[in-house]
């Protein structure tokens, strides 16, 4: 409830009202008209949730783009309107809570995708003279000097962990240790901790690759 009230404060306490039960049958023009009026009035709530969530994750390169977060928040409003009952409290507070929950779930799903991505990259280690685990443990390797996309990403993960601070470097060390020891439950915990670091590394690698592509095309043409 505290999070919902904080969202409402940031949204300027929009006046959101709706009859209960909602008129008409689900999908009927009458019901849709009322739902749309509520969603329009409550849109500042979605915007406030999206701003807060985006700011919380952008330090790490963002697990989701702002527009994606905003759409998730609006989806939460839609679900909230359809689920609302006066027994659940004020409509505006309920909608803020549902928008917050929907965005939080979306960020968690994005984080799990980053965990899975890192797990896949770790499984690919050992195909050259320097294993991926060794690269991950070295925060000072220049990603630009890496000889393959996989090694470049690994070097970027190490660099982002170094920038994030001691907690991330220690988590990365423990991830390497637990992975090499075959302790998958422990490795999974450290991948979860490092999900924002991986997201930042992926974003930086994609930006670097995008910037390098035109240069490569110019060299090829020459």
Q: Which residue has the higher pLDDT, 149 or 33?
A: 33
Lookup result for tokens 């901790």: 193
Query: Which of 158, 147, 141, 143 lies closest to 206 in space, CA to CA?
Result: 143
Alpha carbons 83 and 38: distance in angstroms, whole number: 13
Q: Where do the domains of the chain lie?
A: 2-111, 124-221
Q: Which residue has the higher pLDDT, 30 or 143?
A: 30
Give the model's pLDDT for residue 198: 73
Give the model's pLDDT for residue 149: 65
The string of DSSP codes covering the chain is: -HHHHHHHHHHT-------SSPSS-TTSHHHHHHHHHHHHHHHHHHHHHHHHHHHHHGGGT-SS-HHHHHHHHHHHHHHHHHH--GGG--HHHHHHHHHHHHHHHHHHHHHHHHHHHHHHHHHT--SSSS-HHHHHT-TTS-GGG-SSHHHHHHHHHHHHHHHH-HHHHHHHHHHHHHHHTT-HHHHHHHHHHTHHHHHHHHHHHHHHHHHHHHHHHHHHH-
pLDDT greater than 80 at residue 147 = no
Q: Per-residue confidence at 114, pLDDT binned at 50, 70, 90?
A: low
Question: Lowest-confidence range among 11-20, 63-72, 109-118, 174-183?
Answer: 109-118
pLDDT greater than 60 at residue 109 = yes
Give the model's pLDDT for residue 99: 92
Alpha carbons 182 and 197: distance in angstroms, whole number: 22
Q: Per-residue confidence at 9, pLDDT binned at 50, 70, 90?
A: confident
| Most confident by average pLDDT, 112-121, 150-159, 167-176 | 167-176
8 A C-beta contact, residue 102 and residue 82: no
pLDDT greater than 60 at residue 78 = yes
In whole numbers, what is the pLDDT of the chain averaged over residues?
Answer: 76
Give the model's pLDDT for residue 165: 76
pLDDT greater than 60 at residue 199 = yes
Report, as an integer, the average pLDDT of 182-202.
77
Q: Which residue has the higher pLDDT, 174 or 36?
A: 36
**pTM exceeds cut of 0.85:** no
| Most confident by average pLDDT, 2-16, 104-118, 180-194 | 180-194
pLDDT greater than 90 at residue 219 = no
């Amino acid at each position: 409830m505290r999070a919902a009230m904080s969202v409402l404060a940031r949204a300027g306490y929009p006046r959101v009202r709706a009859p209960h039960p909602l008129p008409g049958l689900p999908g009927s023009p009458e019901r849709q008209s009322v739902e749309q009026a509520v969603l329009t009035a409550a849109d500042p709530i979605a915007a406030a949730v999206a701003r807060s969530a985006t700011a919380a994750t952008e330090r790490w390169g963002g697990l989701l783009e702002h527009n994606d977060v905003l759409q998730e928040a609006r989806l939460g409003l839609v679900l909230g309107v359809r689920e609302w009952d006066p027994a659940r409290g004020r409509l505006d507070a309920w909608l803020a809570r549902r928008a917050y929950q929907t965005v939080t779930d979306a960020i968690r799903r994005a984080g799990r995708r980053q965990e899975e991505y890192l797990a896949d990259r770790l499984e690919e280690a050992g195909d050259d003279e320097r294993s991926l685990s060794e690269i991950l443990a070295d925060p000072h390797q220049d990603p630009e000097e890496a000889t393959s996309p996989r090694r470049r990403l690994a070097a970027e993960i190490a660099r982002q962990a170094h920038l994030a601070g001691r907690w991330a470097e220690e988590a990365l060390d423990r991830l390497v240790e637990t992975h090499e020891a075959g302790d998958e439950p422990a490795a999974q915990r450290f991948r979860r901790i490092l999900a924002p670091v991986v997201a930042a590394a992926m974003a930086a690698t994609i930006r670097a690759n995008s910037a390098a592509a035109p240069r490569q095309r110019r060299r090829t043409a020459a």
